[in-house]
Amino acid sequence: MGVEKKQSIILFDGVCNLCNSSINFVIKRDKKDEFRFTALQEEPGISLLKHHHIDTKDTDSIILIENDTVYVKSSAALRVSRKLSGAWPLMYGFMIVPAFIRNGVYDYIAKNRYKWYGKQDSCMIPNPELNNKFL
């Protein structure tokens, strides 16, 4: 009997164009099938937020749940990068930068993401071949 692999879960802002593009970017580079995805605005994202006591007033763009531990903002993004194919794991080296600096940059981008990249009226709907990647 084989051991079932437990994927990390990425919660994202499903109406944000930047977030949707980022999720598509991750999916293309997730060669080891490490991640599952769900929008913050939909079930099961809402249930995960409640279960982990995550307040979207504090973070509302990307959340990573890895082995039942929650990572937000730049820590989430950098932890995701280390599991991608190509040279992207090198980005994890930025973890040496103090979190208040990393998150300052992250918060600035997150605050302006709708203005710079726009937003959709509803969450993205995965095509049938990607359905198994979404919760």
Q: Which two tokens stand for residue 43?
A: 């079930």
CA 130 to chain CA centroid, Å, is: 16
Query: How does pLDDT run across 104-130, given as a tens digit for each residue?
Result: 999 999 999 999 999 887 676 777 777
Question: What is the average pLDDT score of the chain?
Answer: 90
pLDDT at 2: 41
Q: Which two tokens stand for residue 54?
A: 């995550």
How do the domains of the chain map onto residue ranges?
A: 8-120
Q: What is the pTM of this model?
A: 0.89
Query: How does pLDDT run across 7-40, given as a tens digit for each residue?
Result: 899 999 988 888 889 999 999 999 999 999 999 9
